[in-house]
Chain A
Amino acid sequence: MANLKASLNLRDKGAEFWERSPKWRRVAMAMSFIAFCYALPFLNNPLINTPGSDFQSVLFYPVGMYVLMAIGLNIVVGKSGLLDLGYVAFFAIGAYTMAILGTKTALNFWEILPIGVGLAMLSGVLLGTPTLRLRGDYLAIVTLGFGEIVRIFAVNTDSIGGSRGIAGIPTPPDFFNAKFTILDPKPYYWLLLTFTLLIIWMVRRMAARRPGRAWDAIRQDDDVAQLMGINTRKYKVWAFVLGAAVAGVGGVVYASQILSIVPDQFNLNISILILACVVFGGIGNVWGVILGAVLLAFTPERIRFLSQPRILVFGIALVVMMNLRPDGILPKKKREHFDPNWDTVEESGEGEIK
């Protein structure tokens, strides 16, 4: 039985295969995966089709958007262990920036994007600086409140449309041959995919270097992290701000695709669902989180033909899965490494230090 389980452990097998592969094979594998992702809208396979909704639209929202946001929230929840229940607020700030500036000024999508991301980051600093001294449950409550404040503020502010929201948001300008129109979700999907790949690349770089180690330390033992010289406040705020930036990107792209937004799109459900993607996929592991987001976004669309009971079926599937794999589908499990060079020393007390 144990043998069977070990032989079924595709996760470790996959990681081992990757590690043992020479560079050219890794590049080839990564390239073909990326190509596959870009080709997805053209795939018309009955297995992954979504009867009842347009497959290409589903790829953009919810699938692509959930993946992007789950990767962002994973920096906050997974890497540095801060429970953020108001993540949708940063998404809303990005979307509203696009909506307001897009309708009231002549700025185009590409000019608004950095502003939206910047505002989301700024709100991350403003929220993070005072609240990140709180830990665990207390932080969760404060962030939950923040998420609701942003939505309720939008509902009650008539100058930004109140509860009716903002309509007539411009689409991004044409990009070579790709035309961004409401009728064709493919260019939006590709745009989102490009951002997502870029963000994955950045996150992986950070995770392997000093910020990753600092977040690891903070998540495991905040007090010891401080005593090891880590400015824990600073790195927590950074995690918050980077998470906010990713949601900001999502918000700007989202608003430019759906053309009209209302505050109620940015409710608590989104925060919870994105968090569910992170937990369901495997907290802290970016590939697990992506898989979790894909499944959680895609499954309800795939089973739309069930109409009314589909949410019930979806809920049962979630509960069953979390019982079978309580740490998520692809849990973060740091694998141990053995470098032959490390084995050269015979016994204790060898070597010198400066």
Chain B
Amino acid sequence: MSEVVLELRKVTMKFGGVTALNEVDLVVKKGEILALIGPNGAGKTTVFNVITGVYKPTSGEVVFQGQSIVGIKRFKITKLGIARTFQNIRLFGESTALENVVTGADVHSKSGVVGAIFGTRRSRREEKANLERALELLEFMGIKKRAGQLGKNLPYGDQRRLEIARALATNPKLLLLDEPAAGFNPAEKVALAETIKKIRDAGYTILLIEHDMSLIMGVSDRVAVLDFGTKIADGTTTQVQNDPRVIEAYLGAPADAS
């Protein structure tokens, strides 16, 4: 079988008396698109925050490529190879689109302040390489002509695309997309689905939070369902679609049940 990239083992996340995640197990395999779905407040974004180190889980393990990443600093987790986008877009609005992406590409650079001051050969080489990679990614996301515009001045859809480009720039082994299609029209959703598949086909592994069912059914290899912080289903799209517990979580229990 294909290798496991990320594994959550009995992850529990409590905020005071509220249990946001309750012993969640989750496995993401290399090269797949795993969709994480669930009603509002089910804990999907909390899963992302636990994986990226924003929250430290109350208990449980997060294992990334065989290494526990609980308690590791956020920037180190990104360096290890996890990048994300945000549900409510969080670009660097005062920087240009290109700078946003280059900032992501900087992750693996070795040169820092001293290299920049003295303009060392390594610094110049890395600057050039990161710039080229950023332009490549902007082109890939179809927003190269926006390169020189400020992040905040981009149209809404392009801001979402730019966030993906910025995350890809860190060269992640696992890409977390938090509702990338939110606010998209149907045509844009179709295009985004194609883009997401292309990203997977380029060798990336994707964990996707989404509400749009047609998008999920179209792109995901597997689906995991969260409800009130508990994972209630995990499987192929058809398996999950027919799971009575999933139907109940989304539509409510039938009136004659019990």
Which of A209, A212, A334 counts the most chain B CB atoms within 10 A? A209
Which residues of chain A are within 8 angstroms of B84 by Cβ–Cβ distance? 227
A209 neighbours in B (Cβ, 8 Å): 115-116, 123, 127
Please encode chain A, from 318 to 354, with 1 for each CB lying within 8 Å of some chain B CB and 0 for all others: 0000000000000000101111001111011111111
A344-B142 in contact given A217-B103, A228-B103 (Cβ < 8 Å): no
Residues 179 to 234 of chain B near chain A (Cβ within 8 Å): 191, 194-195, 198-199, 202
Q: Which size class do B's interface residues fall under?
A: 35 or more
Give the residue among A221, A228, A348 with the most B Cβ atoms within 10 A. A228
Q: A339 touching B103 by the CB < 8 A rule? A: no
**Chain B nearest CB, measured from A216 CB (Å):** 5
Is there contact, CB below 8 Å, between A229 and B75? yes
**Residues of the B chain whose Cβ atoms lie less than 8 Å from the Cβ of A157:** none
Cβ-closest chain A residue relative to B157? A348
Query: Which A residues are in CB contact (< 8 Å) with B113?
Result: 206, 211, 235, 238, 242
Chain A residue nearest to B165 (CB atoms) is A353
Instruction: Determine if A268 is an interface residue (Cβ-Cβ < 8 Å).
Output: no
Q: Which residues of A contact B73 (CB under 8 A)?
A: 226, 231
B141-183 interface with A by 8 A CB criterion:
141-150, 153, 161, 166, 168, 170
Decide if A230 is an interface residue (CB 8 Å cutoff): yes
Q: Which of B79, B112, B194 contacts A210 (CB 8 A)?
A: B112
Of B75, B90, B96, which one neighbours A336 at CB under 8 angstroms?
B96
Please give the number of chain A residues whose Cβ is less than 8 angstroms from any Cβ of chain B in the complex. 44
Known: A229-B75, A345-B139, A353-B202. A220 touches B106 (CB 8 A): no
CB-contact partner of B202 in A214, A229, A334, A352, under 8 A: A352
Q: Are A210 and B144 in contact, with the CB atoms below 8 A?
A: no
Q: How many Å lie between the Cα of A202 and that of B118 in the bound state? A: 8
Query: Of B111, B143, B150, B161, which contacts A334 at CB under 8 A?
Result: B150
Collect the chain A residues with CB atoms within 8 Å of residue B107's CB. 228-230
Query: What's the least CB distance linking B137 to chain A, in Å?
Result: 6
B236 interface hit (Cβ, 8 Å): no
B residues in contact with A231, CB < 8 Å: 73, 75
| B199 to chain A: closest residue by CB | A353
> What CA separation (Å) do A350 and B137 show in the bound complex?
10
Most buried by A among B52, B115, B140: B140
Q: Is B102 interfacial (CB 8 A cutoff)?
A: yes
Across-interface contacts of A347 in B (CB, < 8 A): 142
**B119 beta carbon closer than 8 Å to chain A:** yes
A317 to B137, CA, bound (A): 49
Contact among B103, B119, B202 with A354 in the assembled complex (CB-CB below 8 Å): B202
Interface residue B54 (Cβ < 8 Å from any Cβ of A): yes
A71, chain B: closest CB distance, angstroms? 14
Contact B147 A229 (CB under 8 A): no
Q: Which residues of A contact B78 (CB under 8 A)?
A: 226-229
Given contacts A228-B103, A228-B107, contact A348 B74 (CB under 8 A): no
| Residues B95 and A349 in contact, CB atoms below 8 Å apart | no
* Chain B 3-39 near chain A by CB (<8 Å), digits 1 or 0: 0000000000000000000000000000000000000
Does any Cβ of A come within 8 Å of B136's Cβ? yes
Residue of B nearest to A347 (CB): B142
**Segment 48-78 of B: residues with Cβ below 8 Å from A:** 52, 54, 73-75, 78
- B75 and A226 contact, CB distance less than 8 A: yes
Q: Are A339 and B117 in contact (CB-based, < 8 A)?
A: no
Complex Cα spacing A352 to B95, Å: 25
B43 within 8 A of A: no
Q: Is the CB of B106 within 8 A of A223?
A: no
- Residue in A closest to B169 when the chains form the complex, CB atoms: A228
Interface residue? A213 (CB, 8 A) = yes
Known: A228-B104, A229-B104, A353-B137. A206 touches B116 (CB 8 A): yes
Q: Is the CB of A336 within 8 A of B54?
A: no
CA distance A186 to B90 in the complex (A): 51
Q: Are B95 and A220 in contact (CB under 8 A)?
A: yes
Minimum CB–CB distance from B40 to chain A (whole Å) comes to 22
7 A–B contact pairs at CB < 8 A? A210-B106, A213-B102, A213-B103, A228-B75, A345-B142, A351-B136, A351-B139
Shortest beta-carbon contacts, A-B, top 7: A348-B142, A229-B107, A229-B78, A337-B148, A351-B139, A209-B116, A226-B74
